[in-house]
A = this chain, B = another copy of it.
Amino acid sequence: MAFKGALEDVTYGLYLITAEHDGRKNGLIVNTVVQVSNSPEKISVCISKDSLTHDIIMQGRCFAVSILDRDAPMKFIGTWGFRSGRDIDKFEGVSYRKGATGAPIVLDHCLGYLEVQLYGTLDVESHTIFVGKIVETEKLADGEPMTYRYYKEVKGGKASRYAPTFNDWETLKKLEAGKRDTPSLDG
């Protein structure tokens, strides 16, 4: 992509976004959490319209953010970041609790969490920016947060095809041409 070089120097963390509506819960991994206001405190997160979690948040109007520890294993990231909640129950075997908003908060490999109620949304074509007003937070552990750079450079991680930063269209095209049942990568 023409715009690849400089964009790769933008800094991100890595987070697990979870939500529940009408008995259906799901979650996915994103790199796009930002505090956008302090009076009152709000955060934003950008999520692919193709992900199941996107629709659950739209309907349930709240979500939780678990801030991932740098030591979170790739298997854990693989389940939450590269499998679809339409195919598997990502919460199986995972430690979580119901938050103040009703959202399920994942506690494994997390330094702390934020729980928000939806304040507004902005449609940016492939993705939606969700802004949430913080209603609850808790710091669970000391430690280094996982950064997107650490995930890519030290752990060898890749961007999900549903991440806003995804740009490996060549590989994707080959995968999609080769077989219809390509590995599901969405959240």
Contacts and interface: CB of A to CB of B under 8 A. Distances in A.
A50 to B, nearest CB: 12
A95 interface: no
Report, as a range, how many residues of chain A touch the other chain. Answer: 35 or more
A184 interface: no
Contact of A126 (B3, B37, B46, B113): B37
B113 A124 contact: no
Given A44-B46, A147-B147, A6 B38 contact: no
Contact of A6 (B12, B126, B127, B139): B139
A127 B35 CA distance: 10
A33 interface: yes
B137 A6 contact: yes
A119 to B, nearest CB: 7
